[in-house]
Amino acid sequence: MSNWYSESSPLERRTFWASFGGWALDALDVQMFGLAIPALITAFGIGKADAGLLGSVTLFFGAFGGWLGGALGDRFGRVKALQITVATFALATFASAFAMSYTQLLVLKAIQGLGFGAEWACGAVLMAEIIRPQHRGRALGTVQSAWAVGWGAAVLLSALVFTYAPADIAWRILFAIGLLPALLIIFIRRGLKEPPRAVAKDPDAPFLATLSGIFHRDVVRSTLVGGLFGIGAHGGYAALTTFLPTYLRQERHLSVLGSSLYLTVIIVAFFCGCVASGIISDRIGRRANVAFFASACIATVLVYIFAPLTNNQMLVLGFPLGFFSAGIPASMAALFSELYPAGVRGTGVGFCYNFGRVVSAAFPFLVGFLGDRIGLGPAIGIDAAFAYALVLIAVLLLPETRGKVFEQTAATHA
């Protein structure tokens, strides 16, 4: 950890670990799907487009889950909403292990999407409101790095399960492990307190008013541009990661263990990129940080996919690919939290981060669709580069928010 952690209060530290653990376990559940795609294609006799639709449905419902979860946090409190959302995505992932048809799996992936979209919104705003302003970028960047921890755990579990279990049940075992996040609820219940300003000011107002508050004239510009930012950030990530394991195995002809080595390099780099982005964001500002990482993403993705690289060269380039792709999501929690006042902060953050999932839900499907026609590699490269270009446009339209002081200071509460 950097210096910010040693300076943190007990409440800040407990909140950090709850948010970190929730996001890591969220990633574990979500990333297991990408790693299981080849097995699902065989098990249900589907094509790449159908497999991509499973990922798209998860992202689509994740968008609504994020908006709804953020509003629930504004209305009833962050901690209570966080418990509900963790339980939702954990149980849905576990139930997916028992799916007997493609349709059943599609429904369960939709429920999982509702849960993991809402979990990020609740955890990110809770952390943003608890941590002191000068540490907000670093703390939330480090929380975002938990995605790499969960992603790495998913890769390791996938390699073990698919190596030692029969292929027709290995994916079911993998999804059954998705129940683990439910254990986090015990820690959340015992260790966390609501931020003093987390509940909406008017508890008697209709819930719809909480949802629609982000379209008030005072904040609507932030909502629209933040939504565009979310489209690019999630679209690029979804285009790149959903089919990357399949690309490495089917077009680069790597074994499960071989593709896991490539993914390990990218995942370690993603962790480092999240932490670095948080530090840079606190030093040079949110806008300059995002612009740097988005530009680097575009260049790196195009080289990784289109350049005639050997397998060893791809392994080396995997580090900058993972590093730069981490910088954008690592900046979103702090930036979006700083765009909104307390009464609609959760709703705004949940909407901006997750609205992108409505549109980016099409990216895995488009990659699969194009992959059947022009090859999986070019399909990934084209879609990802276009998405990261949208991030560049959006960040130029947003104000600089570094160091914004919220209405109250929660960091001093034990």
Within 8 A by CB and 6+ apart from 290, the residues are 327, 328, 331, 335, 391, 395
Which residue is it, tokens 């895995």?
364
pLDDT at 257: 46
Which tokens in the block code for residue 172?
A: 């079911």
Instruction: Give the model's confidence band at 108: pLDDT under 50 very low, under 70 low, under 90 confident, else very high.
Output: very high
pLDDT at 253: 63
Residue 44 amino acid letter = F
- CA nearest neighbour of 271 among 314, 319, 312, 337: 319
3-state helix, strand, coil in the chain (%, to 5): 80, 0, 20
Sign, Cα dihedral of 315, 304, 52, 95: positive
Which tokens in the block code for residue 187?
A: 């820690």
For residue 171, pLDDT beyond 50: yes
Residue 361 amino acid letter = A
Rounded CA separation 332/328 (Å): 7
- CA nearest neighbour of 291 among 167, 164, 400, 182: 400
Which tokens in the block code for residue 70?
A: 């953020």
For residue 273, pLDDT beyond 50: yes
Rounded CA separation 99/89 (Å): 15
- Pairwise pLDDT comparison (168 vs 195), residue with the higher score: 168
Give alpha helix (H) positions in 207-361. 207-212, 220-241, 244-250, 256-284, 286-306, 311-337, 345-360
Mean pLDDT for 280-309 is: 87
pLDDT at 413: 43
Residue 54 amino acid letter = L
- CA nearest neighbour of 262 among 151, 368, 106: 151
pLDDT at 284: 92
Quick one: how many helices (H) and strands (E) in the chain? 18, 0
pTM of the model: 0.76
Q: Are 351 and 226 in contact (CB under 8 A)?
A: yes
Which tokens in the block code for residue 331?
A: 């900046």
Sign, Cα dihedral of 353, 356, 362, 367: negative
Q: Are 349 and 71 in contact (CB under 8 A)?
A: no
- Pairwise pLDDT comparison (397 vs 207), residue with the higher score: 397
Which residue is it, tokens 């909407």?
351
- Pairwise pLDDT comparison (355 vs 293), residue with the higher score: 293
Which CATH number is correct for 9-183+215-396, 1.10.1370.40, 2.60.120.890, 2.60.40.10, 1.20.1250.20?
A: 1.20.1250.20
Residue 286: count of CB within 10 angstroms of its CB:
26
Q: Parse the chain into domains and list their residue ranges.
A: 9-183+215-396
Q: What pLDDT digit, counting tens, does each position of 191-250 carry? A: 677 776 545 555 556 666 667 778 888 888 999 999 899 888 888 877 776 776 677 666
Least confident residue range of 198-212, 314-328, 343-357: 198-212
How many degrees, rounded to 5, is the angle at CA 345 between CA 339 and CA 348? 75
Instruction: Give the model's confidence band at 8: pLDDT under 50 very low, under 70 low, under 90 confident, else very high.
Output: confident
Residues in the chain: 414
pLDDT at 210: 64
